[in-house]
Amino acid sequence: MIKKITTLPGDGIGPEIVESGKAVLQVIADLYGHQFEFQEGLIGGAAIDATGVPLPDETIERCQSSDACLLGAVGGPKWDQQPPHLRPEKGLLAIRQALNLYANLRPVQALDALIEESTLKPEVVSGVDVLIVRELTGGIYFGEPRERRTIDGEEGVVDTLVYKKSEIERLLHRAFQFAEIRGKHVTSVDKANVLESSRMWRECANEVATHYPSVTLEHMLVDNAAMQLIRQPKQFDVLVTENLFGDILSDEASMITGSLGMLPSASLNGTAFGLYEPVHGSAPDIAGLNQANPLATIASTAMLLRYSFGLLEEADCIEQAINQVLLKGYRTADLTNANAISTEEMTKAVIKEIKVAIHS
């Protein structure tokens, strides 16, 4: 059967790393005898430049007519002064909302090959395997009103945090379901000592937990969670939280793995469809230099094969190839100060390992 994949390269390093992901998917298709049909869509700054909007309707339609999407990243200084509705990031938020991609999985695994590259001590990092489950289509990134306004006679601003109970509950169910097949522990992260939204979040977590008797639930305030992730990350199995907290905590957690350039993600809506993207942004400081680490995007293709296509062996094959190239000492510049290889060289190294694994 032909599987349709829409690629959304976006801005900055986006086109370079999506090219890497596509090359890996093509090799998997060739070696395992699958047919993947690729089509491309505009998003972010690239879409603004070409069409005047950060998310053209045509892009949404292409995504809707495909089985999965692979996104690079959006944004960059070129568009930083644009009004809010013409910011590249608006395109990313809008595609997540248009496709109802409410569950964002951000696995954080410390690979043995990169223990030395982590900023934390080896004994703290070794064996870390945390799944961050981040709510992706609600909260303060989407709430209205959001505006500049006069407050008490002076210039002011309003952002709004809104959640419906059903939005919180569906995400928590996903988190508990993952915990059931993992380490059977959920840490629900909130700011319930201050925020009403967090107090409802906590009530929902307590209620949802009753449906999963084999899973233990712990509540943790977000400021403490930020510290615990660095102090003792092995205490976490599934960490579930709202949109803004999950965004921040996952970038922080990436340093356990050695680099932000290592962290993949899957954004799911409850069907087989998903949008897959690295956790990092468009890295304008290294865009176009063939220096970006493509492994977060390549690892995202493994998640795509696993969650959208059910191709578990193929997904494992990609992850093992990533592990192998790192064990052999290949490093992009974000992971080493000496003898760094390029984006293209890292991609070729992974592809070589995939071929070796399949032919052996």
Ligand X SMILES: NC(=O)C1=CN([C@@H]2O[C@H](COP(=O)(O)OP(=O)(O)OC[C@H]3O[C@@H](n4cnc5c(N)ncnc54)[C@H](O)[C@@H]3O)[C@@H](O)[C@H]2O)C=CC1
Output the CA–CA distances (angstroms, integers) from residue 307 to 68, 84, 126, 189, in the order listed. 9, 33, 26, 25
Which of 102, 247, 307, 334 does the annotation list as catalytic? 247
Residue 251 annotated as catalytic: yes
Residue 74 engages ligand X in binding (rule: CB under 6 A): yes
Handedness of CA 305, 307, 313, 315 (dihedral sign): positive
Interaction between residue 261 and ligand X (CB under 6 A): yes
Judged by CB under 6 A, which stretch of 18-26, 51-59, 188-196, 291-299 contacts ligand X? 291-299
Torsion angle, alpha carbons of 26, 28, 32, 35, to 10: -30
Q: Which of 159, 203, 223, 285 binds ligand X (CB under 6 A)?
A: 285
Size of residue set near ligand COI by CB under 6 A: 5
Quick note: the x/- pattern for Mg ion over 247-276, rule CB under 5 A, is x-----------------------------
Binding ligand X (rule: CB under 6 A), the pick from 24, 28, 46, 92 is: 92
Among 109, 241, 267, 282, binds ligand X (CB under 6 A): 282
* Separation in Å, CA 284 to CA 74, 107, 248, 291: 10, 24, 19, 11
Of the candidates 237, 247, 314, 334, which one interacts with ligand COI according to CB under 6 A?
247
Check binding of 299 to ligand X (CB under 6 A). no
* Subset of 306-335 contacting ligand X (CB under 6 A): 334
Q: Cβ contacts of residue 338 below 8 Å, gap of 6+?
A: none
Give the shortest CB-281-to-ligand COI separation in angstroms.
6
**Interface positions, 49-88, toward Mg ion (CB under 5 A):** none
Q: Round to whole Å and give the CA distance between 49 and 53.
A: 8
Does position 8 bind ligand COI by CB under 6 A? no
d(CA 214, CA 236): 16
Report the chain's C-alpha Rg in angstroms.
20
Per the CB < 8 A criterion, the answer to whether 131 and 238 are in contact is: yes
**How far apart, in whole angstroms, are the C-alpha atoms of residue 234 and residue 249?**
15
Q: Virtual CA dihedral for 77, 81, 83, 84, nearest 10 degrees? A: 50
User: Is 165 one of the annotated active-site residues of the chain?
Assistant: no
Annotated binding residues, as ranges? 76-89, 96, 106, 134, 223, 247, 251, 281-293
Cβ 102 vs Cβ 138: under 8 Å: yes
Contact between 63 and 95 under an 8 Å Cβ cutoff? The reply is yes
Binding part of the chain for ligand X, among 1-9, 68-76, 141-149, 323-331 by CB under 6 A, reads: 68-76
Q: Which is nearer to ligand X, 41 or 208 (CB)?
A: 41
Q: Does 191 participate in catalysis according to the annotation?
A: yes
Q: Does 242 sit near ligand COI (CB under 6 A)?
A: no
Q: Would you call the peptide bond into 233 cis, given omega within 30 degrees of 0 as the criterion? A: no
Task: State the first-to-last Cα distance of the chain, in angstroms, to the nearest integer.
Answer: 26
Give least dist CB 12 to ligand X, A. Answer: 6
Q: How far is the CB of 61 from Mg ion (least distance, A)?
A: 26
Looking at the Cβ atoms of 95 and 238, the one nearer to ligand COI is 95
Residues 212-230 as b/e (b if ≥16 CB within 10 A, e otherwise) read beebebebbebeebbebbe
Contact stretch for ligand COI (CB under 6 A) within 87-95, 171-179, 305-313, 352-360: 87-95
Q: Name the site residues for ligand X (rule: CB under 6 A).
A: 13, 73-76, 89, 92, 260-261, 277, 280-286, 292-293, 296, 334
Q: List active site positions.
A: 141, 191, 223, 247, 251
Q: Name the site residues for Mg ion (rule: CB under 5 A).
A: 247
